[in-house]
Amino acid sequence: MKVIAINGSPRKKWNTATLLQHALQGTADQGAETELVQLYDLNYKGCISCLACKTRGGKSYGRCAVNDELTPLFERIAAADALIMGSPVYFGSVTGELRSCMERLLFPYLTYTVPYGTLFPKRIKVGFIYTMNVTEEHSKEFGYDYFIKSNERYSQLLLGPAETLCSFDTCQTDDYSKVVIESFDSVHKHQRHQEVFPQDCDKAYGLGVRLATP
């Protein structure tokens, strides 16, 4: 079994990356081969709406025609057995880099048929991991459920069954005194990072175990 995780955060060793590592450890302990992709290391653009992936009889039908550093990643995903995508929540959604990657990954497989269908060659399990500053209550108040459920819905339609792990009220920095962030209680943030974030890491590990279990 092969499991690929995509870190859609610019930080390689902070909250999102840490949870992805725990999820991958969960899959590895079930015997899976794992790969962690740092999305910010890749050079690519979002969907250019060329519709080559939808052109009848075209050589790129069902796959993205743009050739850049996402192309080999998409080939590896098509050969994988599970996919985990992680992102911090910026302005109520995933990072722009992950959004662009998801558009390029998913749109070529979508068929504008009745009903909608998929050209993805098989079914794989999909996991989403989101980290965010807000509390769970505020996430609902701000409507975060919409993009979370939307990402699950499209993934389930096009790739396979999906589930989501959210880590709420996360700590932004080791030292709040160095940055102008007065909206959050640094003492509370650090205490939560010590007490609650490890529980989220355990949940991420469990997510990985489930993704690697037939």
CB neighbours of 31 closer than 8 A, spacing ≥ 6?
Answer: 1, 212
Q: Are 70 and 6 in contact (CB under 8 A)?
A: no
Given a cut of 80, whether residue 23 has pLDDT beyond it is yes
What are the domain boundaries of the chain?
A: 2-211
Q: Give the pLDDT of residue 189.
A: 81
**Given the DSSP bridges, would you call strands 110-111 and 117-118 parallel, antiparallel or unpaired?**
antiparallel
Higher pLDDT, 146 or 181: 146
Q: Give the pLDDT of residue 177.
A: 74
Q: pLDDT category, 187, cuts 50, 70, 90?
A: confident
Q: Measure Cα distances from 14 to 17, 88, 201 in Å.
A: 6, 10, 12
Q: What percent of the chain has pLDDT over 70?
A: 100
Given a cut of 90, whether residue 182 has pLDDT beyond it is no
Maximum C-alpha span of the chain: 60
Rounded to whole angstroms, the Cα distance separating 5 from 7 reads: 7
For residue range 65-119, what is the model confidence (pLDDT) as tens digits? 999 999 999 999 999 999 999 999 999 999 999 999 999 999 999 999 999 999 9
Q: pLDDT category, 167, cuts 50, 70, 90?
A: very high
- The CATH fold of domain 2-211: Rossmann fold (3.40.50)
Of 87, 107, 108, whose CA–CA distance to 97 is shortest? 87
